Amino acid sequence: MSTLTRKQREIREREQLILDISRRMLVEQGYAGLSMDRLADQTEYSKGVIYQHFASKEDLVMALAVQSAEARTQLFERATKFEGRPRERMLAIGVAGELFIRLHPYHAQSEQIVKMAGLDERATPERRSAMLSQEGCCFGVVKSVVDDAVQVGDLQLPASLTTADIVLALWALNFGGQAIIHTDRDLLVKFGITMPYNTIRMHCQTLLDGYGWRPLFTEWDYEATYRRILRDLFAEESLAAGMA
């Protein structure tokens, strides 16, 4: 295993500082409020130094999205190690996604801004490739659990659906729900939705029941599975997130 030199460590630490401050500025002030000039003031580095790390503002923002995707993928990969049936492991992935949002709200919000701003085409090819790779890894982790469910006979797909279709449906439900939680929390409370993450989990279970993915919600104590996931797999994270 190679050891970083002192200079390499300093470069990495400087880049991380730039990313941390950029993410906060992006969330607090929006994409328009993030500028290289203001970033230079906040970090006390010259614009030239910042451009040594990131080719453009778009490249910098895409780097934030890549970093967020990496963190989420790591949690998802841990979730697949949960000892249980495929549908229990899918619940573990859902818990991992919720933990990511709760523990890293700036990551999640900056990622939403990146996607809505459509910055893909203005980032460097290397950064776009890194983002595609990370999102592919994340999608693949979830798909592997759906594939396992089909393999062991817990899920029988109709001819019109693929395992990737199942992943897309779950992705849309979770990503869309989380985006609403962050942008319209007051509205949810107004209509009595005070525990929106619980609502998302319940809708995911309803969706999987609709696919006939066994064990069905009425056939299994998924609340016990949920508690075991928090206790055995994400004890430290769930405590930090206030979910323990």
Co-location of 85 and 188 in the same domain: yes
Judged against a pLDDT cut of 70, whether residue 117 lies above it is answered with no
Co-location of 23 and 104 in the same domain: no
Range of the domain at 36: 1-53
**Residues 85 and 154 sit within 8 Å (Cβ to Cβ):** yes
> For the chain, what is the domain count?
2
Helix (H, G, I), strand (E, B) or coil at 147: helix
Residues belonging to the chain = 244
**Residues 23 and 42 sit within 8 Å (Cβ to Cβ):** no
pLDDT tens across 176-234, in order?
A: 898 888 788 899 999 999 999 999 999 999 999 999 999 999 999 999 999 999 999 99
Greater confidence (70 vs 120) lies with 70
Co-location of 84 and 47 in the same domain: no
Co-location of 45 and 64 in the same domain: no
**Residues 16 and 9 sit within 8 Å (Cβ to Cβ):** no
pLDDT tens across 14-38, in order?
A: 999 999 999 889 888 888 888 999 9
Pairwise CA distance, residues 128 & 125, whole Å: 5
The mean predicted confidence, pLDDT, of the chain is 91
Co-location of 27 and 100 in the same domain: no
Co-location of 28 and 86 in the same domain: no
For the chain, give the percent of residues with pLDDT over 70: 96
DSSP string for residues in 11-26: HHHHHHHHHHHHHHHH
Write the CATH number for 226: 1.10.357.10
Judged against a pLDDT cut of 50, whether residue 1 lies above it is answered with no
Judged against a pLDDT cut of 70, whether residue 123 lies above it is answered with yes
